[in-house]
Structure 1
Amino acid sequence: MTVPSNVGVLGGGRMGAGIAHAFCTAGATVVVVERDDDAAAAAYERVAANLAKSVERGTVTEPLEVLLSRLSVSTDYADFAPAGLVVEAVPEDFALKAAALVAVEEQLAPDAWLASNTSSLSVSELAEKLQRPERFCGLHFFNPVPASDLIEVVLGKQTSEELAGAARTWTQDLGKTPVVVNDAPGFASSRLGVAIALEAMRMVEEGVASAEDIDAAMVLGYKHPTGPLRTTDIVGLDVRLGIAEYLAATLGPRFEPPRILRDKVARGELGRKTGTGFFDWK
């Protein structure tokens, strides 16, 4: 096994649980740290359910009890101390991520690696807050993590060549394909994905076509597995809004969020997680 034998994940939401699942199935011992006991218990159940599904589907050959023996949850950052790698997966807010990464780094051995699952924020700017920026990179996993074939490896200005190579290897050992990009707003995937999604939203807003037909055009015409509006519902409209606002601030008005997106978020229509977005998920 070339993934670190001990891995930490900060945050046990949908993405964090998926990341923990990926490393558990690759043979690592994984601890997920959450903000309180209730969140930690929910994170454990989330990961355990994902592992059980993988066993049922036959995509993982080890018994469930073996997989679960590698998983633990905690509310104490000190439990990251044995980890050779910690992946931060807290909400997409720069100040929150920066503070979390600083707190995690304080618990790690000098030779441990640290990564952020950010989908758009500057890895280089996050690294500036750290004592060992050369041991930090972006590992942008995609939702749902167990089914996704991609990890975007984001190299900050100070990311070491050793870490760049190790991250590629970890990605392959997780059964996924690495796409390596240099740090830039939105990287490659979010920048392109959000650009398409925002234009699709404008088309709905302008009455060009229905959300269903716009998505069908991309699925049938361009072989996208999921249309841009359904993908937005899966990711979360609030998440897409935050990314778009960041890209608009860093790259210019072409990423300005359309009114339809702002209005839906204001009404709490956040996509699949609330039951309604551009589609009805109830």
Structure 2
Amino acid sequence: MTPARLSLAQPVPDEATPYHTEPATVRLRGQHLRLGYGDRVICPQLDVRIPDGSFTVIVGPNGCGKSTLLRSLCRLITPQAGQVYLDGKQIRDYPARTVAQQLGLLPQSATAPDGISVLDLVSRGRYPHQSLLRQWSPQDEIAVQTAMQATGVADLAGRAVDELSGGQRQRVWVAMALAQETPLLLLDEPTTYLDIAHQIELLELFRHLNRHNGRTLIAVLHDLNHACRYATHLIAMREGRIVAEGAPGKVVTADMVQQVFGLPCLVMADPVSHTPMVIPRGKVHMA
């Protein structure tokens, strides 16, 4: 088995110390990344490799750089230093349409054009596959309908997106990302606004896409137990650095949760999935 990136019973290493494993196949990776906005540096030094065929989940406290890293991997922001590579080539060197055919993105807090219908928004996921010589096709129609059925929004097709609840809108955005049918799918807090039942339905759908459709998923999640249950590869971040990486069963320990989140806890086996389950101790001592 591939060893975990770092035993978090140890101190966090200096940023220049390489603690990573090299997956057998890596289509998407970042090397020597410095990420930020203007003069504000969020991630001073990152090396990240996304194992092909994995369901990679990025976790960490607010402001640690999770979403910034995700945006850099899909070319939404340009690294201040270092490079992102897709299939061995710098991602900045690809035409935008080529990137969109390979990388799908569900952004955080996406905004739809005023008055656009659910069907029209989901259909926009097919734009990267169209050109002057290839207009709307039966394949596009199937992709859109399949995505809407999978996310439970088919009955909302004629509704205006801005009339929907927050949870309904979120599922519509997920449907658009799925309709893009890219081999790599990046998801920035995909369960935002969803009730617990829809959260689980969506995470089960993502796991199915990973296991049975062979798609590589990279998601930012806030719920550590969801991350443990559904991820095949976990990246834990703190203060702009990756401090632990590997299979959840290897890297999620009480020491890791304390170090990354500052949360005293117990870690035990989930009785359903047998993955790590984090139980916060809280402030009340229990005998």
TM-score, normalization: structure 1? 0.29
The structure carrying a bigger strand percent of its residues is 2
Tell which has more relative contact order, 1 or 2 (C-alpha 8 A, sep 6+): 2
The structure carrying a bigger helix percent of its residues is 1
TM-score, normalization: structure 2? 0.28
